[in-house]
Chain A
Amino acid sequence: MENRGIVVIGAGPAGLAAAVKLRRLGAEDVLVIERENETGGILRQCIHDGFGLERFGKSISGPEYAALLKSEAEELGIECLTGTSVLEISKDRTITAASPSGVVEIHAEAIIAAAGCRERSRGSIMIPGERPAGVYTAGTAQAYMNLYNRMPGRNAVILGSGDIGLIMARRLTLEGAKVSAVFELQDHPNGLERNIVQCLDDYSIPLYLSHTVTEIHGKDRIEGVTVSAVDGNLRPIEGTEKYYSCDTLILSVGLIPDNTILEKAGVEIDPSTNGAVVDEHLMTSIPGIFSAGNMLHVHDLADFASAEAEAAAENAFLYASGKLDTGRNLSVVPGEGVSHTVPGRITGHGPFTASLRVRKKERGKTVEVRQGGKILGYRFFPLVIPSQMISVDAEAAAGCENVEVIVR
């Protein structure tokens, strides 16, 4: 077993930014563990621009963003173990991983878990119907095209109006495939307005809100889907079924923080995010294990995932130096109008920032962080939408009551 300093799991926008920050803070031994054979994480396949505006001041593609982080990491001499998958983490921070040279065991002074998220699958949303080939989650289709030079199909229908689905609508169209329509279960689009315009409107691809796929047809390869309108409770309305023929169904129906290894380690998980419950230092319920980026909660911009990972790095560094204020005393819960909020716990000893998503689109609202009757922080937003994460700064919670985040 090796004894190392601070170990970062994941070499995507979060993990690499955390590692770079750690070295800049003066951490001597920083190790990054990455399961793919290359670093960059999901950025490798996100070839569209829009990354880097916050962090680098320019709009660049995912691979370029990753390359900038990677060269910073190389300049700082950060060691990265690629082709290495973490199998297990123990409560005393021993990492067991599968690597090209067999199983390795590494004990870390602190761990930052930044291994990203996975896509919700057809199986888990249980779309009825046959099981033909040709049903792909948007990320898989994206990887096929952008990394493997393969076309998933030629005539697609897309379920889900999240950014990845919208991006793939454009990508497929530009490569000569037909995209008949995008269907969205909710009554509002999930992705950025910019993407609705530039991925759908530009190519006259219709978007049907409040619709979902209720059956998949085709024994061996998908031949079509039945689509139904849904009511206010998101239930299919009988009599509204329409058949759309296609040879490919792209699913963009949700990203889920991938916390298998943290769950196995016994880390407290927030069921509303599927990510770890962290305090304002981004530390999980296991001392010295931190989480950031999409593994903690799904971000809209890689830049923010990187920034959050840097915050985790600052705290991990303090922890490893024995200087971090720990103690998870108070809960922070999502209240009226709020879907989920991070951190889920706070020490109560210092100010913190609540990062949250609202339940529905509203204009002219104030989001408050309150402890009982006392307002710890608030912010006015001209517009709040579920697809955009927002944050509210709050002062220290002196009392002993739990804290709530609400939309006024």
Chain B
Amino acid sequence: MTYQTRVIGAFSLMAAMLLIVGFAQSWSLVLAILNLCLISSIMALGLNMQWGYAGLFNAGVMGFAALGGAAAVIVSVPPVQEAWAAGGGGIMLALIICAATALLVALVYFRLKASDTIRFATITAILVVGFIFYRMLLDPSVDAIEAVEPAKTGFLGGLGMPIIFSWLVGGLFAAGIAWVIGKVALGLRSDYFAIATLGISEIIVAVLKNEDWLTRGVKNVNGLPRPVPYEIEVQQSPFYQGIAESLGVTVVEFSSLFVKLCYSALFLIVLLIIFYLSQKALNAPWGRMMRAIRDNETAANAMGKHVTGRHLQVFILGSAVIGIAGAMLTTLDGQFTPTSYQPLRFTFLVWVMVIVGGSGNNLGSILGGFFIWFFWIEAEPIGLWMMEFITSGMAADNALRLHLIESAPHMRLIMMGVILLLVLRFSARGILPEQNRQSAG
């Protein structure tokens, strides 16, 4: 089977599965799955840059996705004037002090010519003083902000710009954090890098859960503005009413499908742009250099390639793509819920997508994003059906049968684990294996 038929076959199979769901369950569900498939594909593309091109084990996908989500809030929500008046200045000052402290520490660490003991003593002193000032400024401002209508706002709000800008801003946020973490942890052993990224993602989510002045914490931000029309607008417009009539569906049904389709179109555009750019980069000399570094770091180093520098570059790029996807996800949900960021769902599921799709192959990552998200959603009905089939011989009130049927939703985790292990073992290069130029051309 050639690569081309494989690609066509795999994507047709995916389309067929979506169609089956459409006929068997509902078209609205298909579009909902499709939208999340598109977002998952973008996340997988981002991780594929890091793992597939460069061999970096980023265990912090969740954190970058959450940063993107925070960006959606910060960009789109209108500013809360009372909160800014109450504590905006204090917060800004505190953040400036924070930045100044970090800058001073960096200056001392890199520039001060003195013995290690003196350097670290100075750094500790700067950190302590900076921290005290930071807390002195921050705490009263935070209290003041959170006292402003706590049931409705109680946070600074955002910039009140169209939410679509947040996709870029989310990418920038993620890139910024990736730069910091990459500077610290890249160049260390691969395991250490994995654990460092795991840690930073937990911290990012902890910050988003607890800093109520920023994103309302666990109180969530609801009703984010949309980049697409609202259902009610569609329903009231005579133009769309006409279309709905000619299609033979009710206006309500049409409006819901139409809105979802608008999202799909937006996401598809972003996916295509990122895919095009990734493909370009991968086939450019830059991409060949990345793969050379991945396959033999020592040799690439000997050829004069700056391995850590290139790793930093690709880590930032990949994280930015994940940040963009995170912002898109929050846009689609219309609300920001920090508690929904779970490592299994956001970090390791994306890993399964990349590995199953084919590490190093961009089309593979897209396919993996589709396949795995589809199974993540459909595992529940499949698991339920399997359990009912297995237990069909038992009495209806059998305790074991009830327990098995009740636990069916957890089948999805087991299925994901098994899929990952099977692919890794028997087809380590994934469904669509990486194509190098020699064999492709």
A and B are interacting partners: no
User: Interface of B with A (CB < 8 Å)?
Assistant: none
Q: Which residues of A contact B (CB under 8 A)?
A: none
